[in-house]
Each structure stands twice: as C-alpha cells, then as structure tokens.
C-alpha cells in the first residue's frame, strides 16, 4: 500500500522539477564521497583517539571498501522488488545509521564494524540513483543525468572533504561522522520530497537482477573499471609523497594539490557525461586513451612542480570522465537488471582502488621511486583500453548476424543504373 506522501509524489510528478530530483540524489553522493575520503586526512587523529597505530587505522578504509564490494551486489539483489524510491531511502537510512554509530564506537573493533556497515549501501545507492535519474530524462540524455548524480561524489572532494577534515582536526575526529550523518538525514528528506514514486516493475525479482551476471558484456565493463581505473588509483594513492619528494612542493601546498584534483573530478564528470551522450563506447575509448597519455606525461614531468600540479588536475579530469560512460554502459549491457549492473560499477571501482594502491606500492617498495606508479598506471590503463576494444568488437560481431538476417529478409532492390 502506498503512503500518502507517495501518492502525492506520483500525482505531482509533472510539477516536480527533474533538476530537484537529481540534486536530491546527488546529495547522497556528496555524503558518501565525504565519508569515504575525509577519513584519509584524519587517520592520525583516529589512531590517537582509539590508541592504535596509523597502519591499523588504515584498516578502517579497507573495511569501508570491503563493505562497498560486498554490499553493492547483495543489497541490489535483495531490493529488487522494491520501488526505486523506497530502495534509495532505505539505503540512505542505512548509510546514515552506520555513520552515526561510528560516533559512539568505543574501540577499534566496533569502529571496524561500523565502517563496514557504512560502506554496504555505497554501491547499491549509486546504482539505484543512476537508474532513477536515467528514468527521468529522454534516452539521449541518460549519460548526463547519471553524471549529474555522480557529481555529488566529485563535489565532495572539493567542499565536503576539506571542510569535514578541518572540523575533525580542530574539534574532534568523531564530528566527521556527525556531519556525514546530518548530510544523510538531509538527503532522506530531499529524496522523500523531490524524487517521484514509481511502482516496481511487475516482473522485478532477485532472479531477474542476477541475470546481469550471466552477460559477458557486464563482466567486460566491470573489468574495464577494475583494470583501467586501477591505473588512476596507482598514481593518486601516492600523490602526496610524489608531490613532496619528487616535485619538491612543501607539505603546506598539498591542500591546493588535493583541491585541484577535486576540481578536475568535477570537470571530468561533466565532460564524461557529455561525451557519453554522443557515444557510450566511444567515450570509454577516448577517456581510456586520455588516461594512458596523462599518466605517461605525469611520469615525464613529475620532477617539475608547476607541470606536476597541472597534471594532477588533468588526472582528476581524465579519471572522473570514465565514470558516467562506464555506468551507462553497464546499464545498457543489462537492460532488465539495471540496478544490480549499475551497483556493481562501484564494487569494480573499489577493487580498482585496492589493485592500483597495491601495484603502486609494490614498485615503490622495489626501489623504483615515487614516479614509478605513473608507469604502472599507464600500463593498467592500456590493458583497460584493450578490454574496451574487445568488448566493442564482440558487440559488433553479435549485432552483425542480426543485421544480416534483416537485410536478407528485405526484397531485392535494384541499384540505380543497373538492369
């Protein structure tokens, strides 16, 4: 049975601006991006507060990432029968409770648990938010709508992360979770007010969603994210020591570097959405090629401070430009299981984070220096581009018999000038 609010939302859909609904969904992305990245700047404060080592506090980041990887497919499948609006509300409620529970976590073990719980709705929320946003606009505008939802994540790196990091450093690190909890609560109100209600598909089911896992194009798209985006993370994971030890910047300049990276993400998200509107696969080819070039150039110019800083901005642009096209590609590859497919994108990106950080750290530990991850990243991006090309070729091959069959069924037509 629909609630009174849901009836009103459905009846007033025509009067609710699409922009308001997308901003409401993007607000959730803003909160998710803030909690995911702000803790990286507060690791020392967390370690002191919980009386653990900094490497131990780093496990809180891993616990969140593990929650994303596990939660995306599980929650997307379990919520298959729910109307998308209700699913978005439920996931944001879980996110809010998970972050607020971190405020009260008394020790390291309980903090690990709350961070894992906070990560569970991350991927599934972005998945269902992307599906909702795409359903509100014309088919040709879907990539831009998806990019607008993802813009919340990018803006978090420019506004939310610096602000909450400052708040945690000056007034106590647990306030970070209070702030994120407030953002989550505001998002719940915005979604309830502005996102229109639509009943779940009559044939929606967990089995229907799991069909996405049977499609080779879904797995290839995920592999593009894991390998190709892994190249991006190989560099960004070690950007601080690279900029100080290689480029020679003082530590005081690092906030500027991180801010430029965040601005690059915002610009890249917008650019990626517009490129994908022209051609989804074309945008993936273009962006993967750009990532290869940007990372290779960064390896060359990392010794020069001004050029290195400029390349950090371009790294943010190139990396973020991939997300809208990849998100849309996954939805296209599984049209009858879009929520699960779109959710898996964020599992893939968190696996890319782990892969890139591991390989980048491996070459640094081998004594190759802080510039080496850029070459590793460029190599991973080349592999990601190769996977994208294979995906495109397989798709064209699959469509060829259908086109041939259609052509064969048409009556013979005389070519002008023939007898």
Residue 61 lies inside a defined structural domain of this protein: yes
Residue 408 lies inside a defined structural domain of this protein: no
CA-based Rg of the chain, rounded to a whole angstrom?
Answer: 22
Same domain, 89 and 136: yes
Residue 82 lies inside a defined structural domain of this protein: yes
Same domain, 188 and 248: no
Same domain, 356 and 254: yes
| 66-106 residue pLDDT tens | 898 899 888 988 887 889 999 999 999 999 999 999 999 99
| 264-321 residue pLDDT tens | 989 999 999 999 999 999 999 999 999 999 999 999 999 999 999 999 999 999 989 9
Same domain, 198 and 216: no
Same domain, 167 and 315: no
Same domain, 190 and 156: yes
What CATH number does the domain containing 95 carry? Answer: 1.20.1250.20
Same domain, 209 and 327: yes
**Overall number of domains in the chain:** 2
- Of 148, 179, 202, which residue constitutes the final position of a domain? 202
| 230-250 residue pLDDT tens | 888 888 778 878 888 899 998
Instruction: Give the global pTM.
Output: 0.77
Residue 51 lies inside a defined structural domain of this protein: yes
- Of 153, 187, 202, which residue constitutes the final position of a domain? 202
| 24-65 residue pLDDT tens | 999 999 999 999 888 877 877 888 899 888 767 778 888 888
Residue 415 lies inside a defined structural domain of this protein: no
Tell me the C-alpha to C-alpha distance, in Å, between residue 107 and each of 45, 111, 112, 117, 188.
14, 6, 9, 16, 29
Residue 410 lies inside a defined structural domain of this protein: no
DSSP states of 319-345 as a string? Answer: HHHHHHHHHHHHHHH-TTSHHHHHHHH
- Of 156, 186, 202, which residue constitutes the final position of a domain? 202
Residue 409 lies inside a defined structural domain of this protein: no
Residue 419 lies inside a defined structural domain of this protein: no
Q: Residue 363 belongs to what domain range?
A: 205-402
Tokens of 293: 């070039």
Same domain, 188 and 247: no
């Amino acid at each position: 049975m629909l609630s009174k609010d849901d009836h009103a939302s459905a009846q007033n859909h025509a009067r609710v601006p699409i922009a308001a609904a997308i901003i409401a969904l993007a607000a959730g992305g803003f909160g998710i991006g803030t909690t995911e990245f702000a803790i990286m700047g507060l690791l020392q404060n967390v370690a002191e507060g919980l009386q653990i080592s900094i490497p131990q506090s780093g496990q809180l980041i891993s616990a969140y990432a593990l929650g994303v990887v596990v939660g995306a497919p599980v929650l997307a499948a379990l919520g298959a029968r729910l109307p998308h609006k209700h699913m978005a509300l439920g996931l944001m409620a879980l996110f809010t409770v998970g972050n607020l529970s971190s405020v009260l976590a008394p020790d390291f073990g309980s903090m690990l648990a709350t961070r894992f719980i906070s990560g569970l709705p991350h991927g599934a929320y972005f998945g269902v938010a992307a599906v909702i946003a795409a359903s509100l606009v014309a088919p040709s505008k879907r990539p831009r709508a998806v990019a607008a939802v993802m813009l919340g994540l990018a803006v978090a790196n420019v506004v939310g992360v610096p602000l909450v990091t400052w708040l945690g450093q000056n007034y106590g690190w647990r306030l970070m979770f209070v702030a994120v909890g407030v953002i989550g609560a505001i998002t719940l109100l915005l979604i309830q007010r502005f996102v229109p209600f639509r009943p779940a598909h009559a044939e929606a089911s967990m089995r229907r969603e799991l069909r996405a896992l049977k499609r080779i194009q879904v797995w290839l798209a995920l592999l593009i994210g894991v390998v190709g985006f892994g190249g991006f993370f190989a560099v960004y994971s070690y950007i601080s020591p690279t900029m100080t030890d290689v480029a020679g910047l003082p530590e005081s300049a690092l906030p500027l570097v991180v801010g430029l990276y965040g601005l690059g993400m915002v610009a890249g998200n917008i650019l990626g959405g517009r490129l994908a509107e022209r051609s989804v696969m074309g945008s993936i080819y273009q962006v993967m090629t750009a990532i290869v070039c940007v990372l290779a150039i960064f390896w060359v110019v990392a010794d020069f401070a001004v050029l290195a800083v400029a390349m950090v901005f371009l790294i943010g642009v190139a990396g973020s430009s991939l997300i809208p096209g990849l998100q849309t590609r996954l939805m296209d590859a599984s049209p009858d299981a879009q929520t699960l497919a779109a959710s898996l994108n964020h599992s893939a990106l968190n696996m890319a984070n782990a892969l890139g950080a591991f390989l980048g750290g491996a070459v640094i530990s081998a004594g190759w220096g802080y510039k080496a991850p850029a070459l590793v990243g460029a190599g991973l991006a080349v592999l990601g581009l190769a996977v994208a090309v294979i995906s495109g070729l397989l798709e064209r091959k699959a469509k060829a018999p259908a086109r041939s069959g259609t052509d064969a069924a048409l009556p013979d037509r005389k070519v002008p000038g023939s007898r």
